[in-house]
Structure 1
Amino acid sequence: MVVMVKDSKSARHVAAAVLLAACLTATAQGPGSSSPGSAGQPPAGGITSSDQNLGLVVGATQQLSAPGPSTSPQGTTTSVQDPSYRGSIVRDKATDGVIQLTLDDALQRGLRNNLGLILQTSSVMSANGSRLQDLQKLLPTVTGAAAIQVQQLDLAAYGLKFPGINPIVGPFQTVDFRAYLSQNLVNLQAFENYIASRHNFEAAKLTAQDARDLVVLTVGNAYLLCIADAARITAVKAEMAESKVSLDQATANHDAGTSPRLDVLRAQVDYQSEEQQLISSTNQLDKDKIALARAIGLPMEQKFELSNDVPFAALDTPDPNVAYQAALKARKDLAAAAETLKGAEASRKAAFYEQMPSVDVAANYGDLGQTPGHSHGTYTATGEVTAPILQIAKTHGDEQVARAQVDQARAKLSDQQQQVNADVRDAILDIQTAAKLVEAAKSNVDLAHEALSEAQQRFKAGVADSLPVSQALATEEQANDQYISALYQHNIAKLGLARALGVAASDSKTYLGGK
């Protein structure tokens, strides 16, 4: 672009504007820098989903603004993408003070109030209700009735005519107190339907237990995000202080006539960029705290502070094969899938038994008379054998539907077993990779800080301008972002391993605490 000006004064103004724009562009595009819209976030990469259950993969960098781990509805568990796991019910009222929220307190609140777990618990009640309904079809059914009837009959209306006899009978009354009994003696279809509903009930209970792991995964991730945001704010404040030192030095040098105006402009851009970063990082922390409050059932107006920082703690990763065998025994979603398969097999048997005869009995006993004092015991007993004669299409259709459900359940169970194997191995790789990233990122932070100190000393001594200082500030910001991201990745990877092994709800402290 060519700018034409008519006088030297305008030329100076245009040159200053172009120079300032160039400084802003260089700072915005420098390594480790973030735009205001992406403040509080490490460079591109993001938390991806290693499978449909964990939603955790360690990358070189990641997106820290997501309110929870990402999972898919398919796989071995209910999805954390389900909005219910990021919601909750609020049981308590907000207090005036600021509460100190520990990680353990957040997890316990989530296990009490998280909507996803509450809905799964309701599903258990529903499955138990279906089981009891099917059980009743196998048990005796007893009912009672009391009736008083007054009537007058016209025998002629029924074709009964006798010479000399009045066809009108009555009025008269009858009193009847009676109990009724019905029972399926032999009904194989009803029996297998009950077996299927019992397995489905067990599957629902196991799914609800597995949902506790998902709640821990969601709440733990939300808490760790807030910790990362707070760490980023601390880092940005430190960077602002260092940038202010450079700005003051550049201003002093310029006032003394030993430094050009360019150094002051560059330092001002650096300082204002850090101010923008602080604003964005603070906003991101506030938003992530809202997401955490939603997941654990805190009122939106309740003020709270995080009282745990969950520092880096190395974790000895287990052998993948040994860990996989342990996961097969501990994962509740696998056990639920196995129960679902058993229920499908029972439903297939029930479909086959549709063509088999059933034996039922029905009986009643009671007192019948004109008054309770003038009554006699009466009873009726009936036995019935019922057999389908012609319903071939329905029977074969029901069998095919049930057989398809069995095949689907068996295939899903097999796939889930392999997915658990992948979950365990992915989580172990994530931990190992994240530990190396933490080590490398920590070294980068130390080196970047040393480089910044060296650049500031050279600028103060007048042997260099402020450009190396600006570049060193950008490098330090990038190093801090990568270190914070690596710490977050490592903690999430450890939480992911606990989930992969099926012990997140019971043993998350051990994994987040390290050895």
Structure 2
Amino acid sequence: MGQAVQLPASGRTMQTPGTVNSQQTTSGVSNSVLQPSITVTGNYQGSVPGTPIPAGPLRLSLPDAVKRGLQTNLGIVTSGVSSSIVRAQRAQALSQLFPQITASIGATETQINLAAYGLNTLGASLGVNFPSIVGPFQYVQAQGNLNWNALSVTNVRNYQVANTVDHASRLSERDTRELVVLAVGGTYLQILSASARIDAQRVQVKYAQATYDRANTQLSAGTNTRVDMTRSLVQLQSEQERLLALEGDYQQQKIAFARLIGLPQDAELIFTEQLGSTDLQPVEEADALHAALLHRWDLQSAEAQMHAAEQTVSAARSERLPSLSFNGYYGAMGPRPTDSHGVFVASGTLSVPVFDGGKISADVQQARATLRQRQAEYEDQKAKVEQDVRNALIQLRTALGQVKLAESNRQYARETLTQVNDRFDAGVTNTVEVVQAQQQEAAAENDYISGLYAMNLARLTLARAIGDAETELSSLFPGDKH
């Protein structure tokens, strides 16, 4: 008689440990700007070694980086191992539907003490003299054995459950690929943003150096005060300090990125993409939500997990049904292989549950509890998909607005800085106004970089929210090549 195989209460246990998501945080450059960031935790942070790379600098485009990540990221590897385990469990469930056939060959030599069984006493009472010892004697046998639970609805249901869980596992594996695309793509964009900030900061150091040199020259000429020269020196060293901090953070990000995609951590990477601003077609919220409900692999996996729980309830109920099994063997037995004779046993058993002390009812109750949990998780996942899409659309609209304003603000800040420098060269103003203009220009430049990064990350996040990050990757940044 078969027994229903119970599922874990939660269908989310097969998911790869760790998270990948984008979130909004307050930027340190300007408190009025919300700076998105990519968060990668758990297995998605690590990788296995990838294919060897040639010596020297490695030029790495975004598609190349994602391709490497899909091959080496630990999240992918772990997901594949989990799927392999689920497929093995499916094969085990399938094996219960087929006959189990074994073959055996044996030789036996034995000697029996009849006195130990009391037969000599029995023989004396009957007037028969039984020998105390019989043997030794020997025989050989060769036979095939069959055990087959031929009719068990529970075993059939268990296989259906395992098949559905395997389908859910494959869907979850596809969703893992989407998360790796988001992790690698988002981190790649974050590094581009860090590189752009370094370039912008080098310009600020250059500005500050030029201001200091002019202030020093004016001081030597007697047309300026030492306070102005000292103030410009403080500004120069502050800008140099920021540059060092940005360069250190950039190097750490490169190391983390190399680990993300299975590259040596000391590899010299050249990122070939550029942050760019492109005209985007508006995305209708209703269309995005509809596409997400159709394409999100994690939602489909949650739905499959719910169906598996429904089938488990059916399997538990079927334990009340009769089952039919066959057992037997056929072979040859005799004192010698040349003096043997065919032997066989064949039996069929129809088992009907009569009383089990409430075990079947308990199995059904447990399966129903699991089903309720899986249904709740499916509804929650639908809500999460909707939330992901709405948040991604908000981030995209916000980023597009930020880019436009930041681009305009950057132009005005550059014009202001030029005018202030002219005034300083003419001796009309001091370094206070110059430093303020430089700080405003730096803030405007950083806000523009933040806007570009936010826009590109929002595009990638929206593709992930809809469930098309991997297939849409090539069209996400068509204009960013250089």
After TM superposition, is the score higher than 0.5?
Answer: yes
- Asked if structure 2 preserves the Cα contact closer than 8 Å seen for 1:315 and 1:511, the reply is no
CA offset at residue 308 of structure 1?
A: 1.3
CA distance in 1, matches of 2:217, 2:479: 49
For residue 168 of structure 2, the aligned residue among 199, 203, 218 is: 203
Indicate the SS of the match to 1:146.
strand
Q: 1:404 to 1:354 in 2, by over 3 A?
A: same
Q: Distance in 1 between matches of 2:372 and 2:328?
A: 43
Deviations for 1:135-188, whole angstroms, at most 9, x for unmatched residues? 111111101111100112334443445525545332221111011111112212
Give the secondary structure class of the aligned counterpart of 2:358: helix
Answer yes or no: is 1:362 the counterpart of 2:321. no
CA distance in 2, matches of 1:428, 1:91: 35
Structure 2 partner of 1:150? 109
User: What residue in structure 2 maps to residue 133 of structure 1?
Assistant: 92
Q: Which residue among 384, 391, 399 is the counterpart of 1:419? A: 384
| Corresponding letter in the other structure for 2:399 | A
2:406 touches 2:447 (CA, 8 Å); kept in 1?
Answer: yes
Provide the rounded CA distance (Å) in 1 between the counterparts of 2:352 and 2:110.
39
For 1:122, the equivalent position in structure 2 comes to 81
- Amino acid in the other structure paired with 1:399: V
Over residues 288-311 of structure 1, what are the superposed CA-to-partner deviations in whole Å (9 max), with x where a residue is unaligned? Answer: 101111110011122212111142
> Residues of 2 paired with 1:111 and 1:129: CA distance?
23
Give secondary structure in 2 for the equivalent of 1:55.
strand
1:358 deviates by 2.0
Amino acid at match of 1:118: V
Aligned to 1:486: 451
Choose the corresponding residue for 1:55, options 22, 27, 48: 22
Cα distance in structure 2, aligned partners of 1:512 and 1:56: 21
In the TM superposition, residue 361 of structure 1 has moved relative to its aligned partner by 1.0
Greater shift in the superposed pair: 118-127 or 298-307: 298-307
- Asked if the contact 2:110/2:136 (under 8 Å) is kept, the reply is yes
Q: 1:463 aligns with which of 404, 408, 428?
A: 428
Asked whether 1:234 is paired with 2:199, we answer yes
Q: Give the CA deviation at 1:63.
A: 5.5
- The answer to whether the Cα contact below 8 Å between 2:99 and 2:150 also exists between their aligned partners in 1 is no
Report the equivalent of 1:404. 369
Q: Kindly provide the CA deviation profile for residues 322-347 of structure 1, in whole angstroms up to 9, marking residues without a partner as x.
A: 22212222111111111101111111
The reply to whether residue 282 of structure 1 matches residue 282 of structure 2 is no
Structure 1: segments with no counterpart, 5+ residues:
1-51, 71-79
Task: Quote the offset at 1:202 in angstroms.
Answer: 0.8
- SS of alignment partner, residue 513 of structure 1: coil
Matches within 5 A, 1:375-454: 375-454=340-419
Separation in 1, partners of 2:132, 2:262: 78
Instruction: Spell out, residue by residue over 1:211-270, the C-alpha distance to the aligned partner (whole angstroms, 9 max, x if none).
Output: 000001001111111101110111011111122221111111111111111111111111
In structure 2, the residue matched to 1:182 is 147
* 1:284 Cα deviation from its structure 2 partner: 1.0
1:58–1:430 CA contact under 8 A, matched in 2: no
CA contact (8 A) 2:178 2:470 kept: yes
Give the AA of the match of 1:114: N
Q: 1:374 aligns with which of 339, 345, 350?
A: 339
Determine if contact 2:50/2:68 at 8 Å carries over to the other structure.
Answer: no
Deviates most, 373-382 or 352-361: 352-361
2:12 match: none
- Relative to 1, partners in 2 of residues 1:467 and 1:266: Cα closer, same or farther, differing over 3 Å? same
Note the alpha carbon deviations across 1:103-152, whole angstroms, 9 max, x for none: 11110110000001100000000001111111111111101111100112
Percent of pairs with identical residues: 34
What residue identity is the alignment partner of 2:94? L
TM-score by length of 2: 0.89
- Which of 187, 190, 198 is residue 222 of structure 1 equivalent to? 187
Picking from 51, 55, 58, the partner of 1:99 is 58
Secondary structure in 1 matching 2:453: helix
Matched-pair contact (CA < 8 Å) for 2:70–2:181:
yes
Letter in 1 for 2:22: G
1:273 aligned onto 2:238 = yes
User: Match of 1:235, as an amino acid?
Assistant: A
Contact in 2 for aligned 1:328/1:420 (Cα 8 Å): yes
Within 2, Cα distance between the matches of 1:310 and 1:418? 32
Note the alpha carbon deviations across 1:33-75, whole angstroms, 9 max, x for none.
Answer: xxxxxxxxxxxxxxxxxxx8743448753557x6xx33xxxxx
CA deviation after TM superposition for structure 1 residue 391, in Å: 2.8
Residue 22 of structure 2: SS of its match in structure 1?
coil
Q: How many residues of Structure 1 are paired with residues of Structure 2 in the alignment?
A: 451
Q: SS of the counterpart of 1:89? A: coil
Q: 1: CA distance between counterparts of 2:188 and 2:129?
A: 99
SS at structure 1 position matched to 2:78: helix
Shift of 1:208: 0.6
Provide the rounded CA distance (Å) in 2 between the counterparts of 1:246 and 1:378: 107
Deviates more, 1:219-228 or 1:145-154: 145-154
Q: CA RMSD in A?
A: 2.0
List gaps (5 residues or longer) in structure 2. Answer: 1-18, 27-31
- Do the aligned residues in 1 keep the contact of 2:288 with 2:466 (CA within 8 Å)? yes
| Partner SS, residue 366 of structure 1 | strand
In 1, the alpha carbon distance for the partners of 2:324 and 2:279 equals 67
Partner-residue secondary structure (3-state), 1:317: coil
